Amino acid sequence: MKRLQLQRWSSSVLSAQARTGGRLQHRLYNGIRHQSTASPAAPTANDQLIEEEPLAPSIHPPNSRQSKYQLPSPPVEAARESAKLAALHARLYLPSRLPLETLARSLVDASADPNPKFNNESLATLGHDLLTHYTSEYLICTYPRLPLTVIFAAMYAYVGPKTLAAMAREWGVESAAAPGGEVDPGYLQFKRIPPGADLKPVTGTARPHEDQAHWRKSITSSVVYDNEFGDPVKGPKNPSEQSKQDAQNIKGVTAEQANATFVRAVMGAIYLHAGRPAAKRFFEQHFLSRHLNISDLFNFSQPARDLSRLCARENFEQPVARIISETGRKSRHPVFVVGIYSGQDKLGEGAGASLLEARSRAAVAALKGWYLYSPLNVRVPSSMEEEGAAPWKPVHVDLGEVIV
């Protein structure tokens, strides 16, 4: 089992000050779809995905070597001749209903071929929606009490761009040096950002007062304004701005973005060609099978206070720290084992070199015990889409995280 690399901590459940890594992950993700806007590809193009495949050669007809250099991306018929593409198809154990041509298309980034009929943008949009949908429903149904910041972090760890890029690398997808018609379709093709260019943080978000950088951003507002990972995202675009944005898009993308877009596009392609069960199987085999220790994502700044608030909210007795055992109190390296009790029940246990540390760790353990509650026999809502599914039983819905 692959262990997910922990790319960042959830910012503390309670203190905004402890946001360590969030700043690093300002990503440019333009493909997000708001409910009010259309998908990046024209909506009609999205519907005609399958019908358009056989038509494509008529648009890219020339076959001579010189004319291949004129094309922005490899012609459709080259997909059948590429050994790399067939090998990738076999390596990923993709369904045979997914043709090589579509796999070749999912390897063409929008920065390589701006024509939406030949790039993977529409597939990636679909794949991204599927991935985030499946991941979020899995997380929320499995751990119904998780704080939102932890959910953001876990989503980022499961289907974030860094993870997807790492997956594409594990799949053995290599990138072409530059896109073009003569390139083997088995290479990932995208226009690279010129070296040394600085990645500017995302601007033009829908968030009001976004220029006030020092203002506190509440978690609740990031549900509304930010993307699935709690990162800022571009707001809905006007059609007039579309062309400007396209021109900016041509400038290039990072390898990480291109790889992530490719993995999303593969997911979308499987959904389109092989159907929902195959897409879900692919998701379970490639994404959910990765191990993520969610308990590592927590970061409490004042655990004792939070626990006290929690017990008050849930009408438990006030938590009391008790020394379960200790050794070497007067020595250089004492060890205390402290348990947090609420009435007769032990909520958590922690060991530390001082009573304060042990108490704090015990409180952290108790809080994690609360947040990491997982019901038995978890089912996700999308399991109802299958034929002959058992009647739906409502999942556990929690009050929410502790707010001090």
Q: Which positions from 71 to 110 touch other proteins by CB under 8 A, shown as an x/- string?
A: ---------xxxxx-xx--x---------x----------
Q: Which of 95, 114, 116, 180 binds other proteins (CB under 8 A)?
A: 180
Tell me the closest approach of the beta carbon of residue 178 to other proteins, in angstroms.
4
Per rule CB under 8 A, count of chain residues that contact other proteins: 70
Q: Which SS3 state, helix, strand or coil, does residue 381 take?
A: helix
CA 85 remoteness from chain centre: 26
CA 124, 128, 131, 134 dihedral sign is negative
Is residue 9 close enough to count as binding other proteins by CB under 8 A?
yes
Q: Is residue 344 within 8 Å of residue 363, measured between CB atoms?
A: no
DSSP state of 295: G
Q: Quick one: 119 or 342, whose CB is closer to other proteins?
A: 342
What's the start-to-end Cα distance of the chain, in Å?
38
CA 95 remoteness from chain centre: 24
What kind and span of H or E run contains 359?
A: helix 355-371
Phi and psi based region of residue 388 (left: phi greater than 0; alpha: psi -120 to 50; beta: remaining):
left
Q: Which positions from 221 to 260 touch other proteins by CB under 8 A, shown as an x/- string?
A: ----------------------------------------
Q: How many CB atoms lie within 10 A of CB 79?
A: 22
Name residues contacting other proteins, limited to 279-308 (CB under 8 A). 295-296, 298-303
The C-alpha atoms of residue 165 and residue 391 are separated, in whole angstroms, by 38
Tell me the closest approach of the beta carbon of residue 273 to other proteins, in angstroms.
17
Tokens of 180: 């073009």
Interface segment toward other proteins; rule CB under 8 A; list 121-129, 164-172, 271-279, 366-374: 366-374
Is residue 320 close enough to count as binding other proteins by CB under 8 A?
yes
Tell me the closest approach of the beta carbon of residue 183 to other proteins, in angstroms.
4
Cα angle: 298, vertex 300, 304; to 5 degrees: 130
Tell me the closest approach of the beta carbon of residue 315 to other proteins, in angstroms.
11
* Interface ranges with other proteins (CB under 8 A): 9, 12, 18, 69, 80-84, 86-87, 90, 100, 176-180, 182-184, 187, 189, 295-296, 298-303, 316, 318, 320-325, 338-339, 341-352, 355, 357, 359-361, 364-366, 368-370, 372-376, 396
